[in-house]
Chains A and B, each alone.
Chain A
Amino acid sequence: MIQLKTMVNCIDNSGAAVVECIKVLRKKGPARIGDRIVVVVQKQRNFGPESGTNSGIANKVRRGDIRHAVVVRARKEIQRRDGSVIKFDDNACVLINKSGDPIGTRLNGIVGAELRNKHWSKILSLAPLHL
């Protein structure tokens, strides 16, 4: 249930830590796992003096950037085709560019298996585990 103003954790190494949803794309109502959203970067990862040395690699995005993202985990429970109901611990997303490729190169954290049905195979291949 991610909608306007929802703060979402960013779990890739693009440099964003927390982003805010400003638009749910191609869908009426709140976004769930696998949906594309537009976000504003609110908090950066590694933000500080020690990040100056490798800022070029670590932070591909900065605070205030507007990017697209895919929801990969949602706290709202979701029913699957096999009848099971599953929910996650937090709301999380992965930043992508306009063509749908992830901006970061690594993901730290599990992603929902609903991504498989929505053809986010690049994110799935980066993820350590999908449940």
Chain B
Amino acid sequence: MRIDPCSFCGRPTYIKGITFVRNDAKCFRFCRSKCHKNFKAKRLPRKVRWTQAHRMKAGKQMIVDSTVQFAASRRNVPVRYNRELVSQTVRAMGRISEIRARRERAFYKKRISGKRAQEVIENRKLVAQSEHLLPRLQEKEMRAFDTGDSVVLRAKQKSKVFGTERKKLRARIDGSVEEVSQQTDGFNDIDMG
């Protein structure tokens, strides 16, 4: 049995999902109800971000490659059974998928390579735009920031302890002793003093 790609998202539709046959005899295979629902809602796969069609359009997928062509092309010519051919084909399938995985990895790396630099540029732009929100920097820190070194901002000084906690021991009638903590703020202390 042939495993066709999903008409909406492009994943392989193993035996799952629904086949919809239009009256002009065109078959639409869907891998899951998510794709079927989106099809019924008349969404365009190219405009929906999670589909294969969109990824191809956006240049996120390897399209032009000899290994991709194997999956895409349909060969309807029946071949006479040949033991040698079958074993060769099975061997080739593994090898092709191996090559394809490696090429896809390379493609991904190439696509993603400039991302870090781009992020840094964008972050700097954001800092420059909202500079007025930052705490005022010292000369040394400013220099470090411009050169791109790691910046250690001045640690904020801890505020002095204000007020004290008093502990009282209260003797009860039944003989037990209860501990009572009492918090006072500084103002009262001053007044009392």
Asked whether, in the complex, the Cβ of A87 is within 8 Å of the Cβ of B18, the reply is: yes
| Smallest CB separation, A65 vs chain B (Å) | 25
Which DSSP category, helix, strand, loop or mixed, fits chain A's interface?
Answer: loop
B residues contacting the other copy or chain, number (CB 8 A): 11
Bound Cα distance from A86 to B28, whole angstroms? 10
Task: Check if B21 sits within 8 Å of A82, measured CB to CB.
Answer: no
Q: Does B19 have its Cβ within 8 Å of any Cβ on chain A? A: yes
- Asked if A88 and B15 sit within 8 Å, CB to CB, the answer is no
- A101 interface residue, CB < 8 Å from B? no
Bound form: Cα–Cα A63–B20 in Å: 32
Tell which of B15, B21, B23 touches A86, judged by Cβ atoms closer than 8 Å.
B21
B1 CB–A CB distance under 8 Å:
yes
A129 contacts the other chain (Cβ, under 8 Å)?
yes
Contacts of B22 in A (CB 8 A): 89
A58 to B25, CA, bound (A): 25
Bound-complex Cα distance A84 to B1 (A)? 11
Neighbouring B residues of A57 by C-beta, 8 Å: none
Using a CB–CB cutoff of 8 Å, the interface residues on chain B facing chain A are 1, 15, 17-23, 25, 27
Q: What are 21 A-B contacts defined by CB distance under 8 Å? A: A77-B18, A83-B15, A84-B15, A85-B17, A85-B18, A85-B19, A87-B18, A88-B20, A88-B21, A88-B23, A89-B20, A89-B21, A89-B23, A90-B23, A109-B23, A110-B21, A110-B23, A110-B25, A128-B25, A129-B25, A131-B27
Q: Residues of A at under 8 Å CB distance from B?
A: 77, 82-90, 109-110, 128-129, 131
A87-B21, A128-B25, A131-B21 are known; give 7 further A-B pairs, CB within 8 A.
A85-B18, A85-B19, A86-B19, A86-B21, A88-B21, A89-B21, A109-B23
